[in-house]
Each structure stands twice: as structure tokens, then as C-alpha cells.
Chain A
Amino acid sequence: MNNTIEVAHYNLHKYKEKVAGDCFLMNKAPDERIVATLADGMGSGVKANILSELTASMLQRFMLANVNTVRAANSIMETLPICSVRKVSYSTFTSLNISPDGVTKTLEYDNPELLWFRNNEFLQITKKTSSIETNTTRNTTLYAEIKLEFGDRLIMFSDGVTQAGMGFSATPLGWRINNVKKYIKDIISNETTISAKDLSFNIVEKAKEMDLNQPKDDITCAVVYYRKTRELMVITGPPGDRNKCPYMVEQFQQFSGKKIVSGGTTSKIIADGIGADLEVDMTDMHSDIPPRSIMKGAALVTEGLLTINKVINILDNENITQIKDIDAAHRMVELFIDTDSIYFLVGTAINEAHQNQNMPVEMGLRRISINKLANILREKYLKKVTIEYV
């Protein structure tokens, strides 16, 4: 599958409130569908929390089981407890059921409208309505089926976003949906590949700012970014059998994603094979990691095991959102973080020099380091990792 459904959300509680009144849940079905629900319980605090959690988890269960959207909506409406003060049930919600091929079923109830963004424009979602009479009110849900294309985003938020800043003289009616849309459009046109995580964070932080940093309500935003899977190849180590060099070069040339070459000898093999210049970047001097080299066609060329071992260390320990000193290892980390699927092509030749007794211990076996790295990427960063030994 070469598409990725990237989903992220960010939430802030109402000022001084300890529990969230909004609830966002996301699950992956066994058939790779992603289902996600944002529910906003009426009021705030514990009651809102229970309402929204209940609503979101019921919806998630229906969506996961691929129950007909209207039926799901009706069941929810019939079951939801009714607020005794206001005589209305509820928790508002937005729910999505996204197939890997982009076909997406949406279900909305009273949240700010779900936004669909493509190529710098918001698209209209043609929605159908379904009404259900409960003993107190008539509730109308909106549902639709749309087809996402690569690069599309779905953006949903609680009214804590649209009503942010309400009551202040500059924004008497709050931020309001059209201004939120304008803001989102600006962010994306400035950074067309902004991640779901950064976009949702950005929107919520802006809303908080409009509330003068003391949110008057829960503020939640969730973003779905439907895009091509980002693939990365890492070639490291000369092949055990030198006759396999052309194979490595060929793999490098044929791979369409970004490419990292790690190791001095390895980079020479590739550079020779593709007839490219290879130059050490002397501006990239750091005390513990050799500088990167520059080669056409590669996103990054680094030294081998010193760099890889530092990468392992960073991925395992450092707070990677606060990278400051950018050496070759940190550059490699950034490429890893920004990718979904990583293919390691690992040469098995043993470097005589590294077996020398003067060499630091961390220059041990490449295979061990790569396995460790692959495990961290899989387990801690949920990347898809494949390793091929040559």
C-alpha cells in the first residue's frame, strides 16, 4: 500500500478544569480502515467528560464494525443520556470512517462543520440529513461519503476553536468558522506538507491565544492527512560479496523515495556506480560525529557506525522536537521521523579496521546496530521497517 492516513489531534482543557470535556478517539480496523471520532460533551468537567467518552466510544465501535452510518447515528441518538437541565441530550460529535483507498464516510452532529481541504481550497461536502425523533427533541445528523485524494486533509474541531475569543471586543462572536478557515488556508499555503500533528497543534494554540491563554472551553482539533507513503532507503556497509556492488547501486538508482547512504566505503561504491561526485562537507564539523558528505541523488551521506550509534541514542533518549545542534546524526533522525516506511539495505562485509584493538567499542558489528535501530523505529516510532542483507 503506498498511501498513508496520517491522523493527529491536540487538545487543551478549559481553563482550570482538570478533566477534558472533549474526547478524541482513533482506531485502526483489521482491514486497515481508520476510524476517528471527536465528541464534545455538553458543559464541561466530569459530566461532559462522561458524555463525550461514551459517545465517542460507541461511535468508534459502530464505525469499526462498519455499521451503516445512519443506523449508527440513530442508535447513538436513542441511547445518549439527556441533560436534565436543558432537556437536550448530549454530546455533539464528528466521526470518520476512512478506507485506505480514500473513500470516507462522515457523520456529524452539531459540531462545527467538518472541513475538507484540497489544493489550497476547501471543498464542499455534499451531506445528507437523517432525523430521528427522541421523546424530547428532534435530532438531525449529517452524513456523507467522499473520496479523498493524495494531499487532501480533513480537519475537525470542537466549538472551543470557533468560539475562541468570544466576548472580547476584537472578536465579540468568537473566532468564527470563516476566520478559522482563512487561518488554516494561510498555514497550509505557507507549509504545504505540514503534518497532521503540527497543523492540529497550530490551530489549537491559536485558539488558546484568542482566549488570552485561558481557554473558555475545551479546545480540540483533529487532522487527517491523506498522502502518499513517504519512503526512505538506507544503504549502509559494503556487500559481503564485492560482486554485489552493482546490485546495491541498482537498488539506489531504482528507489523512488529519499535515500541515505551511511559509511565511507559504501558511499564510494554508490558514487562510483552512479558516476557522481562525493565531497566531504567541511562546514559540518562536530566534535563527536564525522561530517556529512554531499552526493547528487542522496538526501544524506554520512559516515557509518559512529553516526548510526548516535542516531540510536538520540531516538532512544533525546526530546527530538528540540534538536539544536544539527550534525549528520540529527539530520538522519529528522529524515527518519519524517518518513513512514524505511528500507535498510545492509552490507555484511566486515571492516578490518574496526576489528582493530584501538577502535572504540561502539564501532562493533553493523548488524547489531542496525537491528537495534530498526527495533526502536518500529516500536517507539511506529515506522514500517524492512531489512535486507547483502
Chain B
Amino acid sequence: MSKEKINIELCLGSSCFSKGSNKIVDFLEEKLSDNFFDIEISLKGCLCKDKCTEGPIVKINDKLYTNVSTDNITSLINEHISN
């Protein structure tokens, strides 16, 4: 079976950034360099998604998540990894 690929888009707009999306980037980059997820992941930043009040906003494979943090991002990604 070919390896799956996940696209993660993280909002780095002012609001999400000050609510911690920068910490999520650090967190994920560390996990990625440790190969924590046994899967190919592309990480991309984006500008304000107009959902600031519910930020940080993260899009994983076209599914939008609100109020994301370093606490819940791992399980959100795991949702997309079929076992």
C-alpha cells in the first residue's frame, strides 16, 4: 500500500498567531522531525481565515478545525490516519 499523505494548513494570521498557532507549528515541526506520525505530512501556513474568534484555525485535508491547540492537534491528525 502506498504511503498516505496529509496536508495541514495552519492559520498564522494575527489572531490565531497570538492565540498560539505559532506554538502548534513548533510542536508539529518537532514531531515531524522525530517521525512521530508514520506518514507523509505537508505543513503550510495561511493567512486569516475569517474565523478569528474560533481560532486557532487548522485545516487538515480540507476539513476545518477550530480552537486547535498543542493538546488536541495530535488526535485531530490521527483522525486522518487510517489504521
**Number of residues of chain B lying within 8 A (CB) of chain A:** 18
- CB of A290 within 8 A of CB of B26, answer no
* A353 touches which of B22, B25, B26, B53 (Cβ 8 Å): B53
**Number of residues of chain A lying within 8 A (CB) of chain B:** 26
Q: How far is the CA of A304 from the CA of B16 in the complex (A)?
A: 13
Contacts of B22 in A (CB 8 A): 285-287, 290
Total A-B pairs, Cβ < 8 A: 59
Contacts of A268 in B (CB 8 A): 47
Contacts of A293 in B (CB 8 A): 47
- CB of A290 within 8 A of CB of B19, answer no
- CB of A291 within 8 A of CB of B12, answer yes
Looking at the complex, which of A112-120, A227-235, A357-365 is the stretch in contact with chain B? Answer: A357-365
Q: How far is the CA of A303 from the CA of B47 in the complex (A)?
A: 8
B66 on interface, CB distance cutoff 8 Å: no
A369 on interface, CB distance cutoff 8 Å: no
Most buried by B among A282, A290, A352: A290
Binding site for B on A (CB under 8 A): 264-265, 267-268, 278, 280-282, 285-287, 290-291, 293, 303-306, 352-354, 356, 358-360, 363
A-B CB contact pairs (8 Å), 10 listed: A265-B47, A280-B46, A287-B22, A303-B12, A303-B17, A304-B14, A306-B17, A306-B18, A353-B53, A354-B15
Of all A-B residue pairs in the complex, the 3 with the closest CB atoms, nearest first, are: A353-B52, A280-B45, A264-B47
Binding site for A on B (CB under 8 A): 12-15, 17-19, 22, 25-26, 43-48, 52-53
8 further A-B contacts with Cβ under 8 Å, apart from A267-B47, A290-B13, A356-B15, are A264-B13, A264-B47, A278-B47, A281-B45, A285-B25, A286-B22, A305-B14, A359-B15
